[in-house]
Structure 1
């Protein structure tokens, strides 16, 4: 008999590492998403009892996949009605029971690209990725996105139905479509990470899930520099996440205690970025990671290489132009070339109306005006930002800045 604590730890670790592989393999064999998820869940439940009695297997993933396949075969034998289920059963009984280690990664890669197919609405891509790849329950996903569980359940049902009805292929895209489709996958993973990049209960775990999924993608696509760029960006941001707030108040980057940043994550992020850049195929996630690296390696806020950051934002504007990127570029230019230069760019963005309703536009303007000694104008902009700020931590920070003027 194996100790219950050891079995629970082994099953928990396998759930995190193997869930996506088990589900992906069964979907690849049967094309039935619900059957795959149900039988994967059954396999993990069986592991708790069987591993306690027989010991933890040398290859937990293979054991779980085999068990899930047996469950699927049994269920189809009981429930077979119609040609589709007969075909599913035939596939399960014909293929070898235990998949080779080489086959599993291909299945997971197919699953990633299918979950993130552009034919699906973006919220559905996110939910489906978290359910099928990360193994989060419908309730956990609903809680993370502040959505009622029945609503999230319907979103998942509609997404799976869309895959079947639209004939979305369960495959890695062909070479000519891969760059565009990979961009869609990276956007989903980055959104998952960003949704957890705060201190709100129920959402923190999403940052860890985003990193976990990015690591998986790097393992499956080791020659894609943008996958490594995204992972590097996540690691460098995660290294300082715990110190973004203090007693519920936002702490700006320049005021954070850098000695408390996670140096192991920073080192891994820098190494991952170097590996991406070595491919010499630049992309927006690599550039964003390079910007994060400039902050991570500056020993103090005053030592930040703002000219380099401004140049990187200019490159990011070339690769992925957006008004938010331009706002960040304005801050870098203000710090590198003087406040008036940055303020001029912020005022241009204000006049364009592209960022109307985005609280960081008046917040940035307020901060630059404060640094320039124009306190009355800064107060007006802080008040505008306060009305738009989405979280309590940000509102507390802005209120504090306003009271200090």
Structure 2
């Protein structure tokens, strides 16, 4: 069974049903049932036209459900007759589905879940495992999201920026359960890039590829985090880096700079350095300046403070950090690093310990705790 093929066909099959007049929620349920039928039937009897088979199976499932509902409500006259079987039309509805799943009425978590289900073709169980929540909880979340977007027509241009934010949220979830969400986000973004010609779509794909290329070097055999400067660069995926850089260069050449292109440019400069000490921090600061202009994000300014500390010395980095709110997540960790670089080990150790207490996950907490312990041991405490 080719799971990748099934997932790649899901959005176009769903689009066919919606275009025929099916309500989105009912159509999505029918497609999921058709996918389950395919998993059961295809290994012994593979179809010559996989998409056509899925469209036919999903439409029949939709009609069965519609007839049952119509009978219950005594409104059989509302049932749409089944079209004759045949090759599925070569119309790509993927882009509209992305925009629908990133509808502004949805919360970010609901938009991500609906995108993974409707466009990614993942099951509710797989999505629930990836987010470490009960399947019933995820089913309710997806049902609410489908009800929210039911009745929304595909007659208005969608917001590309919202779609890209949803995909980036998927990517940053990383991996848990039996679904690799980072790889899934790359797959979905490739799909979107093939559908829409937009430099920020290309910028996001380049950013994902450049980050994903470093994945195997990010953790030690015991699962602990390995900071960028300490990673074994021989383990980076040079094929993904080359592809990401090529995509980024083509996007930048269009002179329509956006935040994902700027982030990808920073990632490319890190990837270009054979050793950490050869990183072009001056250029990275310049790109962070561009990114801050585009987003005015405190997180961007936090990362910029690190880059300033590397380019102009830790005291310059601390001066840049001073302008940021002390409650900003990970600010204490950045301050600890800059104070350590400046030789103030006592302050650095205290701040590492503080950052560990507020870390968003266990891996980061363990890393910061080790940093504090290392400095305290060095100081003889």
| TM-score higher than 0.5 | yes
Per-residue CA deviation, residues 166-207 of structure 1 (Å, 9 max, x unaligned), is: x43234x33xxx5xx1111100000000011x6xx4286111
Per-residue CA deviation, residues 345-401 of structure 1 (Å, 9 max, x unaligned), is: 11221xx34xx151x211111111111111111111111111111222212221222
Structure 1 residue 86, shift from structure 2 partner: 5.0
Structure 2 counterparts to residues 115-264 of structure 1, below 5 A: 115-164=101-150, 167-171=151-155, 173-174=156-157, 178=158, 181-196=159-174, 201-202=176-177, 205-221=180-196, 223-246=197-220, 247-264=222-239
Conservation of the 8 A alpha-carbon contact between 1:30 and 1:88: no
The CA distance in 1 between the partners of 2:363 and 2:75, in whole Å, is: 53
The CA distance in 2 between the partners of 1:203 and 1:346, in whole Å, is: 39
Per-residue CA deviation, residues 75-113 of structure 1 (Å, 9 max, x unaligned), is: 5455535699755615x538x853322x1x1x2211111
Conservation of the 8 A alpha-carbon contact between 1:73 and 1:93: no
Alignment size in residue pairs:
373
Change (3 A) 1:48 1:370: closer
Conservation of the 8 A alpha-carbon contact between 2:207 and 2:261: yes
More deviation, 338-347/203-212: 203-212
User: Which 5+ residue runs of structure 1 have no aligned equivalent?
Assistant: 1-7
Which structure features the higher share of helix residues? 1
User: Which one of the candidate residues 270, 273, 276 is aligned to 1:295?
Assistant: 270
2:59 is aligned with 1:69? yes
TM-score by length of 1: 0.85
The CA distance in 2 between the partners of 1:291 and 1:331, in whole Å, is: 13
The CA distance in 2 between the partners of 1:68 and 1:193, in whole Å, is: 29
Q: What's the counterpart of residue 100 of structure 1?
A: 89
Conservation of the 8 A alpha-carbon contact between 2:24 and 2:149: no
Change (3 A) 1:168 1:44: closer
Q: What's the counterpart of residue 291 of structure 2?
A: 316
Change (3 A) 1:219 1:86: farther
Conservation of the 8 A alpha-carbon contact between 2:51 and 2:88: no
Q: What's the counterpart of residue 343 of structure 2?
A: 373
The CA distance in 2 between the partners of 1:329 and 1:21, in whole Å, is: 41
2:16 is aligned with 1:41? no
